[in-house]
């Protein structure tokens, strides 16, 4: 079974803090993705990576950056968290098209 884990289920941060969200997959997948999910807006792609050290912007990259130093790990970074980044963050990995998701991190920025 594919396993995708995320470092925290719930996180509370203050405005202006630097925030790291970590995602790890154990299936040697090439592709990894970060989404945010907001009520009424569905899932929106923030960034994805198709190989180590490679990244591509998704639909809403503003205010975020990513890091992929190892194949199994994909990090999402909020350089200076803002209240409008309060959301559910979902990580996924895939080999071809099928994506497998982690449990999500619910981030609250106060």
Partner 1 sequence: GEDVEQSLFLSVREGDSSVINCTYTDSSSTYLYWYKQEPGAGLQLLTYIFSNMDMKQDQRLTVLLNKKDKHLSLRIADTQTGDSAIYFCAEIHPSGGYNKLIFGAGTRLAVHP
Provide the minimum distance between the beta carbon of 84 and partner 1 in the complex, in angstroms, as a whole number.
Answer: 19
Of 11-19, 62-70, 75-83, 88-96, which part binds partner 1 (CB under 8 A)?
88-96
Residue number, 26 or 79, with CB nearest to partner 1: 26
Comparing C-alpha atoms, which of 106, 78, 100 is closest to residue 25?
A: 100
Instruction: Write the CB contacts of 89 (distance below 8 Å, at least 6 apart in sequence).
Output: 6, 21, 34, 35, 36, 37, 76, 104, 105, 106, 107
15 binds partner 1 (CB under 8 A): no
Residues 19-58 that bind partner 1 (CB under 8 A): 31, 40-43, 45, 48, 50, 56
Q: Which of 68, 87, 104, 107 binds partner 1 (CB under 8 A)?
A: 104
Any idea what DSSP says for residue 83? Answer: G
Any idea what DSSP says for residue 103? Answer: -
Provide the minimum distance between the beta carbon of 32 and partner 1 in the complex, in angstroms, as a whole number.
Answer: 12
For residues 49 and 68, is the Cβ–Cβ distance under 8 A? yes
Residue where the block lists tokens 């990995």 = 93
Provide the minimum distance between the beta carbon of 61 and partner 1 in the complex, in angstroms, as a whole number.
Answer: 14
Residue number, 72 or 101, with CB nearest to partner 1: 101
């Amino acid at each position: 079974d594919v396993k995708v884990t995320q470092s925290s289920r719930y996180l509370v941060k203050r405005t202006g803090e630097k925030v790291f969200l970590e995602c790890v997959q154990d299936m040697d997948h090439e592709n990894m993705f970060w989404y945010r999910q907001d009520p009424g807006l569905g899932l929106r792609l923030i960034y994805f990576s198709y190989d180590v050290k490679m990244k591509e912007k998704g639909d809403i990259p503003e205010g975020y950056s990513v890091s992929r130093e190892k194949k199994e790990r994909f990090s999402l970074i909020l350089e200076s968290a803002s209240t409008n980044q309060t959301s559910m963050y979902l990580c996924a990995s895939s080999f071809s098209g099928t994506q497998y998701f982690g449990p999500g991190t619910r981030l609250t920025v106060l």
